[in-house]
Amino acid sequence: MSKLRYESPAIRKLNAGGMNKFGTRTEYEPVYPKVQFAWSYKTNYLDAVCRIFHQEGSWAEVVSGFEYEKALGNGVPGHRILFNGPEKTEAELRRAVELDSLIHIDHFDELYQLTDIAAGMGRKPRVAIRVNMDTGTYPLWDRFGFNYENGQAMEALTRIVSSGRLELIGLHCHIGTYMMSVEAYRKAIQKLGSLAVHSRDAWGIDIRYIDIGGGFPSGNQLRGAHATPTDALPSIDEYAEAITDELQRTGFAPDALPLLMLETGRALIDEAGYLLGSVLATKRLSDGRRANIMDFGVNILFTSFWYEHRISPAQPFSHHTEDVTIYGPLCMNIDMVRQHASLPLLNKGDRVVVHNVGAYNMTQWMQFIQMRPRVVLIDEQGAVHLIREAEDLAFIKLQERIPPHLADA
């Protein structure tokens, strides 16, 4: 009997434990007693993906009426939807009030609009404000929410309380994206905590939740970064430790700790996504560099604008590698996936795998020149499920209309 082919044994840490680090599951040693995740729809709003997180206990965090309806369609009750973002229409706000969602107010115009809606509907919506602040990192994300340092956040809280029409129950911040500093989260908690303590002491209002947002990095390497993510990034344990430790120092009585809300998206889904592609052609550029043209580009791999995505061949290959530029299939100069990648010599038709594409690609991708491919989900038993069909011409044309004078072309 011939023997079987051997491969070296290996293990790989999965990112599935990220949520547990904050103590969401009681069978682990919780680092904080009250934690709730809300799935960040904009990170990946394919319904099948959202439903996995909802099955795991996540609420929904949405930033548009479209995402709000998607969350409802995925079975999330209105009172478990956090409605964030600068644009919420009158109708969307009314619906959110009707369904008792948690509305995170972004600016004074919205605050006044919601106060009027509440008065008109005879309801008292449950609200939080989004607070932006200096956490010692650059750039300062001050375009969303009310600024802490200039007093606007406090002023917004004062107006909410004095209106008598809104029920202040939470404080929210989202200090940035791909945050590599644990200390920044400590500062954010300190500042939100001081607002919460003021609310209690000045108005007798117990802030019931503090939403620290997200912004934790994934295993992708930022363009221009010199260190790999493994070397440069704190672990999710360190973020959890800093956030929950600071929260418990902030002046809340042990029996009146607020619920810690997290809107983590990227750190939970990025490493679960892979893009499978093929080599369309190879060529030598004018300076002698080798280039590979792939059947995927920035149209479906939007994050290649800011990540150096890892790309690996999907069949046996030689150990000789060469520095190559990876282009996509679009007839546009912007369509470059990697300027420099070290890859074995690939030929037309060879397959490759792009790693860590689960976050912000299946939402920010573009139907541009080419159509978007199908998406499949591999379940825990290894079964493959189609969760989004490939686009076709009929789908693209569905929204188009031809004026009568052009109808007979």
Alpha carbon distance 46, 39 (integer Å):
12
Nearest distance from residue 299's CB to other proteins, in Å? 31
Contact 95, 117 (CB under 8 A): no
The span of 25-33, 98-106, 251-259, 276-284 binding other proteins (CB under 8 A) equals 25-33
Q: Is 12 in the site for other proteins (CB under 8 A)?
A: yes
Terminal alpha carbon distance of the chain: 69
How far is residue 297 CA from its own chain's centroid? 21
Q: Is 25 or 397 the residue whose CB approaches other proteins more closely? A: 25
Q: Is 394 in the site for other proteins (CB under 8 A)?
A: no
The span of 17-25, 202-210, 284-292, 355-363 binding other proteins (CB under 8 A) equals 17-25
Among 5, 226, 319, 320, binds other proteins (CB under 8 A): 5
Q: Is 316 in the site for other proteins (CB under 8 A)?
A: no
Task: Dihedral sign for Cα 343, 347, 348, 349, please.
Answer: negative
Q: Is 13 in the site for other proteins (CB under 8 A)?
A: yes
Among 7, 231, 287, 392, binds other proteins (CB under 8 A): 7
**Touching other proteins, residues 27-86 (CB under 8 A):** 27-29
* b/e sequence 121-141, b meaning 16+ C-beta within 10 Å: eebebbbbbbbbbbbebeeeb
Q: How many chain residues interact with other proteins (CB under 8 A)?
A: 25
Q: Is 6 in the site for other proteins (CB under 8 A)?
A: yes
Contact 102, 126 (CB under 8 A): yes
Among 20, 137, 163, 278, binds other proteins (CB under 8 A): 20
Q: Name the DSSP class of 78.
A: G
Among 224, 288, 316, 382, binds other proteins (CB under 8 A): 382
Q: Is 383 in the site for other proteins (CB under 8 A)?
A: no
Alpha carbon distance 71, 49 (integer Å):
12
The span of 281-289, 326-334, 375-383, 389-397 binding other proteins (CB under 8 A) equals 375-383
Alpha carbon distance 279, 257 (integer Å):
55
Tokens for 49?
A: 């993906």
Q: Is 255 in the site for other proteins (CB under 8 A)?
A: no
Q: Is 139 in the site for other proteins (CB under 8 A)?
A: no
Q: Is 28 or 112 the residue whose CB approaches other proteins more closely? A: 28
Nearest distance from residue 380's CB to other proteins, in Å? 8
Q: Is 25 or 143 the residue whose CB approaches other proteins more closely? A: 25
SS3 state of residue 390: coil
Q: Is 230 in the site for other proteins (CB under 8 A)?
A: no
Q: What count of residues does the chain have?
A: 409
SS3 state of residue 185: helix
How many C-beta atoms lie closer than 10 Å to residue 375's C-beta? 19
How far is residue 314 CA from its own chain's centroid? 28
Task: Dihedral sign for Cα 85, 68, 34, 201, please.
Answer: positive
Nearest distance from residue 263's CB to other proteins, in Å? 19
Q: Is 395 in the site for other proteins (CB under 8 A)?
A: no
Write the burial class of residue 47 (CB in 10 Å: 0-12 exposed, 13-18 middle, 19+ buried).
middle
Q: Is 3 in the site for other proteins (CB under 8 A)?
A: yes
**What is the contact surface with other proteins in residues (CB under 8 A)?**
2-14, 16-17, 19-21, 25, 27-29, 380-382
